[in-house]
Amino acid sequence: MSAVLEIEGLRKTYRSRKRGVRHALDGFDMRVEAGQVHGFLGPNGSGKTTTLRTLLGLIRPNGGRMAILGQELPQALPAVAGQVGAIVESPQFFPHFSARDTLGLLAQAGELPRQRVDEVLELVGLRDRAGERVKTYSLGMKQRLAVASALLKNPKLLILDEPANGLDPGGIREMRGLMRDLATAGMTVVLSSHILGEIQLICDSVTIISLGRRVAFGPVDEVLAAHSQGAVRVRLEAVTDLPQAAETLTRAGIRVTAEPDHLMLAGVDKPAAVSRVLAEQGLYVSELTPVAVDLESVFLELTATAPVPGQHRQVDQSMKVGEPGSGATTGGWGA
Amino acid sequence: MSLYVTELRRLGKRRLTRLLLVLLLLGLATVATAFSFSSHQLSKEVVAAAQVESDAQYQRAVEDWKKTVADCDAAKARGDQNTEDRYGPNCGRDWQPQPEMFDPKWNLPYQFDFRAEFPTFIAVFAGAVALFAFIVGASYVGAEWSTGGMMNLLLWRPKRLAVLGTKLAALLTTVLGVSLVLGAFWTFAFWLIGRYRGTTAKVTAGVWRSIGLDGLRAVGLILLVGAVAFALASLGRHTAMALGAAVAVFAISEIGIRIAVNVLSVPFGDRYVLSTYAQSWFMKQVELFDYDTCQFAKGACEPAKLVVTWQQSALVLGVGAAAVLIGAFWSMRRRDIS
């Protein structure tokens, strides 16, 4: 499968007399294959938006390599810009222009046929409100307009930064369907979002960034599997047998956490082995359930941004790659 | 080309552009209309009436004078000693009013002289349209920056200098079009005022050529103001940057420098004030005098003179505008867009 988007060793450094040198991107890598819906995840200030802006020529990198559709950036950006549709952060529009005017001006600047405006308005559900001023739109409607502006070029690569921001549940579902349809039609979609449930549902693959570095990447299933830790929930027929079961399993080398009515096991490669070990001691399981991890828990684990009771995490506190177990680290503003 | 046409459309669709254009039209129309009422054509009847009024004033003055002399003589006859204090020497006989003291022109209503006075109205026009150009120029690009429109556009056309240059070209084209069209109407309106409520006498081809050159200089200044406002707003990436800079320049140049050169007694201090060059640009030249070189105790004095020519003004204003524009394009090329 060919790569539509390639980033290698991307660096962006901000220098400030007051704040010193900060690395917004610190050797970041990313690869997106053609036809995929790719999730781009990271905590606030991790470098997501900096990456997208750099890719789109809005920010000059200090080093690294970028390519879109096989063409090196930023040199080839004017050539590939017509094949890349993007919204970065929450785009704003002139409040006194209508959606049709806004898109019409963009279409004219891009030398696109006028009918394309109507097509994308239909696609994002703004057809009947297209003549109204943008200032009368809700946040969700503005977001739809932003997506419409990105789709206007009928791009090969669509980059959307928080496209579901402000959308109602129906809108989120529509957006999800739209992303899938676009990918099915051959468009490659890069989706940056904090709604991890959506990412898990929509995306084929993900890249997770923390403090300017990639901390995880690959197909969603593989990323989840790599961080599932073999968690299993065990219930017994008699709750009174739980302490004996916990002792037996611990002796067998399994990490056990006792809960009031069940046990949580970690590091279990084969759940059947648990059943066998317990049966040998006359303990019979009533439930043996592998616990699947979700993207949110993987994200929180990888970026060390899970909330801790009694603590207030600051935006720059997250995991620095290459230092597992080092806990939260500061740095990396500018995303 | 498509981007240029798009930018022309975008500028024309902006509410502020339309609102200011309407206000500009209303303002210019109000000035022209109000002025037309203040001017009166001097027909033979009006001139004759002024002559009659003037003669009557002369006659009244002669009667008053005769009565005063007679009163003085009567007072003298009664033995008054202080008639000289009250009536002057010789009972004021030497102060008889003369006909030339009552010029009929003083009784004529105001008549607009197109040839002599229209250049002043070109300056009024230039001031109004320059204000329009400043606000439209600054807000056009300032709003693009502050609303994210510039970023959106660069995602479509990732050629920064070309995008900024095209926007500037669209602005200058629009301002030029507005200036030329309104300038033509303005000239025609005042020619009509001169023709029907004033005078258009002695308006030769040479006068028209001079008016044309004045108009060209006015348009040049308007375009320069628009371009500088655009560049300042682009440098600061906000409309307020241009407005703030304008206030700062006014405060520093027109107030601060004037005070400083006065305190320090700098010869020809006004040559350091920006408005001197704008004035010189319009009036072809401005003469500055240094009265400190005179010792009036020794009698009449011809003070030292410095002439600021329109060519010097072109240099000063052009270099200033070029510096701001280069700064804006350099900033567009170098700075991150976030």
Residues of B in contact with A57 (CB under 8 A): 154, 158
Burial A193-205 (b: 16+ CB within 10 A, else e): bbbbebbbebbbb
A149 and B152 in contact by Cβ < 8 A? yes
Mean pLDDT of A328-333: 36
The most confident of the ranges A137-141, A280-284, B138-142 is B138-142
Which strands form A213-219's sheet, in the order they lie side by side? Answer: A84-87, A157-161, A188-192, A37-41, A205-210, A213-219
Mean pLDDT of B246-263: 88
ipTM of the complex: 0.73
Q: What is the pLDDT of residue B181?
A: 97
For chain A, the 3-state helix, strand and coil shares in percent, each to the nearest 5, are: 35, 30, 35
More confident residue, A88 or B136: B136
Residues of A in contact with B149 (CB under 8 A): 92-94
Q: What is the pLDDT of residue A324?
A: 46
Q: What is the pLDDT of residue A314?
A: 62
Paired tokens of A218 = 């690959």
Q: Is the peptide bond before A163 cis (omega within 30 degrees of 0)?
A: no
Q: Where in chain A is the domain with CATH 3.30.70.100?
A: 229-290
Q: What is the pLDDT of residue B29?
A: 95
How far the first Cα of chain B sits from its last, in Å, is 27
Provide CB contacts within 8 A for A328, sequence distance 6+: A304, A305, A313, A317, A318, A319
Q: Are A124 and A199 in contact (CB under 8 A)?
A: no
More confident residue, B325 or A283: B325
Q: What is the pLDDT of residue A326?
A: 44
At how many degrees (to 10) do helices B239-249 and B114-147 cross? 140
Q: What is the pLDDT of residue B211?
A: 93
Give the pLDDT band (50/70/90) at residue A319. low
B155 and A86 in contact by Cβ < 8 A? yes
Q: What is the pLDDT of residue B322?
A: 96
More confident residue, A310 or B123: B123
**Percent with pLDDT over 70 in chain A:** 88
Write the residue in B6, B147, B338 that is nearest to A109 by C-beta: B6
* A333 pLDDT above the threshold of 70: no
Mean pLDDT of B25-31: 95
Mean pLDDT of A298-308: 69
Give the pLDDT band (50/70/90) at residue A320. low
Mean pLDDT of A57-78: 91
Mean pLDDT of A248-259: 86
Mean pLDDT of B105-132: 92
Q: How many CB atoms lie within 10 A of CB B15?
A: 12
* B298 pLDDT above the threshold of 60: yes
Range of lowest pLDDT (A265-269, A287-291, B153-157): A265-269
Tell whether A145 is within 8 A of chain B (Cβ).
Answer: no
Tell whether A14 is within 8 A of chain B (Cβ).
Answer: no
Under DSSP, is residue A11 helix (H, G, I), strand (E, B) or coil? strand
Paired tokens of A266 = 């970690």
Q: pLDDT digit string (tens) for A167-221?
A: 778 778 777 888 888 888 888 999 888 777 778 888 889 898 888 888 888 888 7
Name the residue of chain A whose CA is nearest to B11's CA. Answer: A105
Range of lowest pLDDT (A62-76, A173-187, B247-261): A173-187
Which CATH code of 3.30.420.480, 3.50.30.60, 3.40.50.1580, 3.30.70.100 fits the domain covering A229-290? 3.30.70.100
Provide CB contacts within 8 A for A292, sequence distance 6+: A224, A228
Mean pLDDT of B308-336: 94
Alpha helices in chain A (DSSP H): 48-55, 77-80, 99-109, 115-123, 139-151, 169-184, 196-202, 220-226, 242-251, 271-280, 295-303
Q: What is the pLDDT of residue B16?
A: 92
CA-wise closest residue to A49 among A172, A202, A162: A162
A94 and B149 in contact by Cβ < 8 A? yes
For domain A3-225, the question of CATH label 1.10.530.10 is answered with no
The most confident of the ranges A87-91, B150-154, B326-330 is B326-330
A105 and B156 in contact by Cβ < 8 A? no
Q: pLDDT digit string (tens) for A47-67?
A: 888 999 999 999 999 999 999
Q: What is the pLDDT of residue B291?
A: 81
Mean pLDDT of B93-98: 88
* A295 pLDDT above the threshold of 80: no
CA A18/CA B126 separation, integer angstroms: 46
* A224 pLDDT above the threshold of 80: no
Tell whether B153 is within 8 A of chain A (Cβ).
Answer: yes
More confident residue, B22 or A20: B22
Q: What is the pLDDT of residue A175?
A: 78
Q: Are B175 and B137 in contact (CB under 8 A)?
A: yes
**Percent with pLDDT over 90 in chain A:** 20
* B151 pLDDT above the threshold of 90: no
Name the residue of chain A whose CA is nearest to B334's CA. Answer: A60
CA A213/CA A245 separation, integer angstroms: 42
Give the pLDDT band (50/70/90) at residue A87. confident
More confident residue, B142 or A22: B142
Mean pLDDT of A16-27: 85
> How far apart are the CA of A308 and the nearest CA of chain B, in angstroms?
32
CA B105/CA B50 separation, integer angstroms: 7
Tell whether A75 is within 8 A of chain B (Cβ).
Answer: no
Mean pLDDT of A239-268: 86
The most confident of the ranges A38-42, A122-126, B1-5, B59-63 is B59-63
CB pairs under 8 A between A and B: 72
Range of lowest pLDDT (A299-313, B182-196, B305-319): A299-313
Tell whether A88 is within 8 A of chain B (Cβ).
Answer: yes
Mean pLDDT of B287-314: 84
More confident residue, B249 or B168: B168
A108 and B15 in contact by Cβ < 8 A? no
* A11 pLDDT above the threshold of 50: yes
How far the first Cα of chain A sits from its last, in Å, is 30
Tell whether B147 is within 8 A of chain A (Cβ).
Answer: yes
* A334 pLDDT above the threshold of 50: no
What is the 3-state secondary structure of chain B?
Answer: CHHHHHHHHHHHHCHHHHHHHHHHHHHHHHHHHHHHHHCCCCCHHHHHHHHHHHHHHHHHHHHHHHHHHHHHHHHHHHCCCCHHHHHCHHHHHHHCCCHHHCCHHHHCCCCEEHHHHHHHHHHHHHHHHHHHHHHHHHHHHHHHHHHCHHHHHHHHCCCHHHHHHHHHHHHHHHHHHHHHHHHHHHHHHHHHHHHHHEECCCCCHHHHHHHHHHHHHHHHHHHHHHHHHHHHHHHHCCHHHHHHHHHHHHHHHHHHHHHHHHHCCCCCHHHHCHHHHHHHHHHCEEEEEEHHHCCHHHCCCCCEEEEEEHHHHHHHHHHHHHHHHHHHHHHHHHCCCC
Under DSSP, is residue A52 helix (H, G, I), strand (E, B) or coil? helix
CA B131/CA B226 separation, integer angstroms: 8
Q: Where in chain A is the domain with CATH 3.40.50.300?
A: 3-225
The most confident of the ranges A302-306, B262-266, B327-331 is B327-331
Mean pLDDT of B64-76: 90
CA distances from A223 to A114, A217, A229, A233, B250 (A): 43, 7, 12, 21, 63
Tell whether B5 is within 8 A of chain A (Cβ).
Answer: yes
